[in-house]
Amino acid sequence: MQSPGCLMAGRRPSLWPVSKTPPIYDQRYPARQLLDVIAGKWTPIILYCLSGGTRRFSELQHQIPDISKKMLIQVLRRLESDGIVARTVYPVVPPKTEYRLTPLGRRIHEPVAMLCQWAVENEKDLKTVMRKRGVTAQD
Amino acid sequence: MQSPGCLMAGRRPSLWPVSKTPPIYDQRYPARQLLDVIAGKWTPIILYCLSGGTRRFSELQHQIPDISKKMLIQVLRRLESDGIVARTVYPVVPPKTEYRLTPLGRRIHEPVAMLCQWAVENEKDLKTVMRKRGVTAQD
DNA sequence: ATTCATGGTTACTTTTAGGTAACTACTATT
DNA sequence: AATAGTAGTTACCTAAAAGTAACCATGAAT
């Protein structure tokens, strides 16, 4: 997989890396855009949880115990404004809010799932890298 | 693709998200490890360039014109210490240094290539997201 | 004598991501 | 009367990532 189209926008598939003045590296590169959307510390795990179906705020909090309220809501709000997550508020008391993936969200979850699958299948390679970084995966 | 094994280490494939005390979100999740390695702003494009073969420092600089020397060398050094990139210095003057992917680096490039492929095939979905973010991909 | 290209290094600043803790409002339960 | 659970908000702080600009040594070409 080596075609120049991979990292760059489809508009100039033959200009780079061949061109003498390659296009500027910016947010037009699809792979960069994708990573900008999914690469946050909590984003993949939240997408993963929601890929299992609709979840209440507190359910997500319990499934991801290390996340703070602030980060959970911050990521959810960003995903919502990205059109990836839909939020439904039930006007009851105590409050009840549900989050679920939109159709677009389900598409965005695809590459996350691919990444997960590759990562599990190639855990040894990842462990090699982590070991070189001094991340001891004891326990 | 919904098995709990995807985001978490293979050791506890059935404990989460079923368990009442799910494992702590940390660097043991393979997908997280993978993203920690490939998700930097410049890392994917550098891996992509090197996937095309051995490159001199200046070649990389010209292929990625927006990157600063500092960032290029910083990422290359990190990839080198991760065992993903190999560096060969020729003791000539002017200096000549070559960078290439190691076998491990070629493996790590696989998911990057997958991401790239998905991103190009689903550019419309990505554009939808970027538009909602106000990133106008004019030109 | 000066400039260019090579492959860097260094110090400093800005920007972004992420984390902590306290606070809100409402109701039910003890 | 105090506490817990719900879904948040707010102000503040730290750490990491990224960017800027100047500097270095060398030798060849001008």
pLDDT for position A29: 80
B97: Cβ under 7 Å from strand C? yes
Distance from CA of B63 to the nearest CA of A (A): 6
Cα(B77)–Cα(B83) distance, integer angstroms: 10
The 3-state DSSP class for residue B108 equals helix
Give B99's DSSP letter.
Answer: E
Ordered by where they begin, the domains of chain B are: 27-132 (1.10.10.10)
Tell whether the model's pLDDT for residue A120 goes beyond 60: yes
Residue A21 CA to residue A13 CA, distance in Å, equals: 14
A38 CA: distance to closest CA in chain B (Å): 9
Is B5 within 8 Å of A120 when comparing Cβ atoms? yes
Reading the block at residue A111, the tokens are 């590459």
Tell me the pLDDT tens digit for each residue of A41-92.
Answer: 999 999 999 999 999 999 999 999 889 999 999 999 999 999 999 999 999 9
C-alpha dihedral over A88, A105, B134, A44, to 10 degrees?
A: 100
DSSP 8-state code for residue B131: H
pLDDT, position A134: 83
Nearest residue of B to residue A30 by CA position?
B119
Q: How far apart are alpha carbons A134 and A110 in whole angstroms?
A: 31
**pLDDT confidence bin for A7, thresholds 50/70/90:** low
Q: Which residue of A has its CA nearest to B135?
A: A27
Higher-confidence residue of A22 and B118: namely: B118
Token reading at A93: 């008391």
SS3 of residue B89 by DSSP: strand
DSSP letter (8 states) at residue B88: E
Provide the 8-state DSSP code for A6: G
